[in-house]
Structure 1
Amino acid sequence: MLQHLIDQDEGLRMVPTDRNELTTAVGQLNEELRGLPEEADPARTRVLTRWIGIGQMCLGNHDEARTVLRQSLDLAAALGNTRAVVATGLNLGDAHRYAGDVQGADALYRSALNTARSHHPELVDFALQHTGKNLMERGDLASAKAHLQEALRLRITKGDAGLVESTQAALARVELLIGRADASAADGAVPRQWSGEWTSWLQSRTTAQTPARWAEDFPALRDAVRGLNAHQRVYPRHLRDQPFPAELIAAMAAEAEKAVAADGYLHNGKWNAPVGDAASRFAGQVDLAAVVARSTGLEVEQPHTAVYIAYLEEGQFLDFHVDEFGFGEANLILCLQHERPTAAPSVSTTVFITADGCLECDLAAGDCVVFDGALTPHGRTPLTAGESITLISLGFRARDQASRTVTNLPPVPR
């Protein structure tokens, strides 16, 4: 129906061959859908909603795509059309994947693959192909390769040259990424070791758990930290009163709470959890790169990575450390929620060690702090009774990729 207007980009995602033509075609399908009489065959409604959803997904209208494809999937299930359930489930999985909803996409792909294996073996190769692409984007390259190799075997048996070529292209992409990952792992071993050794050195000499120690320990750290500071492109800055929509902050706070409860994992003493739709909407409506550029003078790309962070228990803290280089030249930590007891004499703060001393930032909801996590020792002081904090941490890469390797950075003090 719209196949002639859809192609694949380098990452094997569907894109329009001509955006204006696809927009017009989707509009025409919407007109037909609105014009259907109440007594119209629901099978026609199912087909129209499926293709409208696919078109909207290719145009980047993710919310509309998911809404319409969910309607089509529900119609397929109500009609007992399990073949359409598989096909539309894969499309809906793609829509969730394109929107950054990893969990939603995973569930839909697993369901579609299970249904195909049990009811429609002729569709298993399609389910394997979509699932393989999802695994590829998640970075699970070994599983992606296994799924795509199974799909290729099935498609060779089918004898469909077009399908075989499609899977071969996906496998070639996976092999390319595996090669890059292997090279990156080899190149990244030394930076990871450098970051880890600096963190160990810091934690052997001071701690965020006992703020009273900073004054007595700081003179011994001054020269070492000054050497790190000399290479920073971003210095810590506490940003208050940012014009972030309050409803987006609240939506991320609610999403983070659910994500921590369902998929949270402890990392360095804090809870981490993957971001979802609410974070994607926030990043889509707020120009975060501009926020970083205005506050630091460093032009950066839009965030390439993000994670929710939560501190929920009295005494929980994050000891001083430096991040691995892969997180980027600039980090932005945005506070989504900070519950604090009214009578507490002090609260937990984000803290940095700089050449001028220790900088503490008490973040309230909507506040953020920008810094260079790879070259700025940072942590969090312990939570008081009744206190809890939810954050989102985002990583940015500089548009001007100045050389930054361990060969031109200060070695770990001995």
Structure 2
Amino acid sequence: MLDHLITHDDNLRMVPTDRNELTTAVGQLHEELRALPEETDPARTRVLTRWIGIGQMCLGNHEEARTLLRQSLDLAAGTGNTRAVVATGLNLGDAHRYAGDVQTADALYRSALNTARSQHPELVDFALQHTGKHLMERGDLADAQAHLQEALRLRIAKEDAGLVESTQAALARVEMLIGQADASAAGGAVPRQWSGQWTSWLQSRTTARTPARWAEDFPNLRDAVCVLTAHQRVHPRHLRDQSFPAELIAVMAEESEKAVAADGYLHNGKWNAAVGDAANRFAAQIDLAAVVARSTGLEVEQPHTGVYIGYEEGQFLDFHVDESGFGEANLILCLKHARLTGAPRVSTTVFINANGYLECDLGVGDCVVFDGALTPHGRTPLSPGESVTLISFGFRARDQALRTLTNLPPVPRQGRCIQPI
């Protein structure tokens, strides 16, 4: 409807090809919308409000764009048009992103991507493209690259040259930014690719999915893991006696379940969701920095970030190391762990250290602290009828020198790979 009047700038954001022409076209759509009889099919109202919203977004009128796109999204949801829900949700995510509202944009993109994956596979590439550009702007370059690479594979399969070109342009920009980040990291910070390369090496030799293999796998890992963990600022500690107020944990568990249901997104085989008021109240009332310091000896600031994590039956988290941005210390607190009585095995948080594999069966109120950037960690598969709800907090060391990792061990050479089963 307005496609011919919209292009992309150097930052890959939508802008007018001719501002005056787009303003005129949006005004004409407004006139048509105002002239619609009350008994008009809501589908026409939905289409008009969507395109007016897109036009206003391109013109920089963010508040009006968000209002109109929200109206269009509500009409799509009200009529059960899930395909339009995905498309308009992505547009509304763009409108919030362009206006600087990153948190709302993130929730909208994740919701649209989840709906596309489950109900409209033909829209997955569009959802991946929008989400990838959002992640790029937010600085999550590795995730942005992964989303865009998946989008590119899908678009090549569609044999749509225009869509392929659009995704290739986005990937080129992400790869340029990754190169710039790695160049700036050469002075001491951890290059982004370092964590991904270590994760790939670990996953080529062992898997959290099959604990029965660990004794066989470990000799192939021992030397490399010893070198890696020697740099840890925090060694894993399973804490069972913190006596956190049960009512605060229960409120967080309830908030987490609602957040995952409403805005959760799949990441590395598990559900993630943004924390809310309950988690913020918990962090304000409990001196979590003191908990970390007492148990590890590392003096840290109060948590600077947090995320809810949910696992369902059959899900697991394979071994990996985190990017350094989450912090020098991580604290994972169990909010809920439902399991069937008499189950032969329950899911555990697991680490690889110099002595082998350390499993932590976290009950409600239990937590574990560790250095996620330098400690291989994961979660074993959930058994039938099992579910786990966690919250993960990230902490910064008070000593600025500990925030800069230097002389890190190189990723081992790729030799014989043991393929996960």
State the TM bucket, normalised to the shorter chain: 0.5 to 0.7
Compared with structure 1, are the counterparts of its residues 111 and 238 closer, same or farther at alpha carbon in structure 2 (3 Å cutoff)?
A: farther
Aligned partner of 1:332 in structure 2 is 331
Letter in 1 for 2:218: F
State the Cα deviation string for residues 93-142 of structure 1 (Å, max 9, x = none): xxxxxxxxxxxxxxxx9699749xx9xxxxxxxxx9xx956559999799
> 1:243: how far off?
1.9
For normalisation by structure 2, the TM-score amounts to: 0.56
Residue pair 2:182, 2:192 contacting (<8 A) in 1 also: no
Aligned partner of 2:155 in structure 1 is none
Identity in percent:
75
> 1:407: how far off?
4.8
State the Cα deviation string for residues 1-59 of structure 1 (Å, max 9, x = none): xxxxxxxxxxxxxxxxxxxxxxxxxxxxxxxxxxxxxxxxxxxxxxxxxxxxxxxxxxx
State the Cα deviation string for residues 132-163 of structure 1 (Å, max 9, x = none): 5655999979999xxxxxxxxxxxxxxxxxxx
Compared with structure 1, are the counterparts of its residues 137 and 403 closer, same or farther at alpha carbon in structure 2 (3 Å cutoff)?
A: farther
Residue pair 2:328, 2:403 contacting (<8 A) in 1 also: no
Q: What is the root-mean-square deviation in Å for CA atoms of aligned residues?
A: 3.2
Compared with structure 1, are the counterparts of its residues 143 and 328 closer, same or farther at alpha carbon in structure 2 (3 Å cutoff)?
A: closer
Which protein has the larger Cα radius of gyration, Structure 1 or Structure 2?
Answer: 1
Could you tell me how far apart the structure 1 residues matched to 2:369 and 2:346 are? 20
Aligned partner of 2:184 in structure 1 is 187
Map residues 72-151 of structure 1 onto 2, 5 A cutoff: 114=67, 132=99, 134-135=101-102
Residue pair 1:274, 1:308 contacting (<8 A) in 2 also: yes
2:307 partner SS:
strand
Map residues 230-309 of structure 1 onto 2, 5 A cutoff: 230-309=230-309
Could you tell me how far apart the structure 2 residues matched to 1:256 and 1:375 are? 27
Residue pair 2:182, 2:191 contacting (<8 A) in 1 also: no
> 1:181: how far off?
11
Residue pair 1:132, 1:143 contacting (<8 A) in 2 also: no
Compared with structure 1, are the counterparts of its residues 400 and 133 closer, same or farther at alpha carbon in structure 2 (3 Å cutoff)?
A: same
Aligned partner of 2:371 in structure 1 is 372
Could you tell me how far apart the structure 2 residues matched to 1:406 and 1:138 are? 32
Residue pair 1:191, 1:406 contacting (<8 A) in 2 also: no
Residue pair 1:191, 1:405 contacting (<8 A) in 2 also: no
Q: Is 2:383 the partner of 1:384?
A: yes
> 1:356: how far off?
1.0
Could you tell me how far apart the structure 1 residues matched to 2:303 and 2:322 are? 16
Residue pair 2:208, 2:317 contacting (<8 A) in 1 also: yes
- Structure 1 unpaired stretches of 5+: 1-108, 119-127, 145-179
Map residues 159-238 of structure 1 onto 2, 5 A cutoff: 187=184, 191-238=191-238
> 1:343: how far off?
1.3
Compared with structure 1, are the counterparts of its residues 206 and 136 closer, same or farther at alpha carbon in structure 2 (3 Å cutoff)?
A: closer
For normalisation by structure 1, the TM-score amounts to: 0.57
Residue pair 1:307, 1:392 contacting (<8 A) in 2 also: yes
> 1:345: how far off?
1.6
Aligned partner of 2:397 in structure 1 is 398
Residue pair 2:264, 2:272 contacting (<8 A) in 1 also: yes
- Structure 2 unpaired stretches of 5+: 1-61, 72-94, 107-133, 139-176, 414-421
Could you tell me how far apart the structure 1 residues matched to 2:191 and 2:136 are? 25
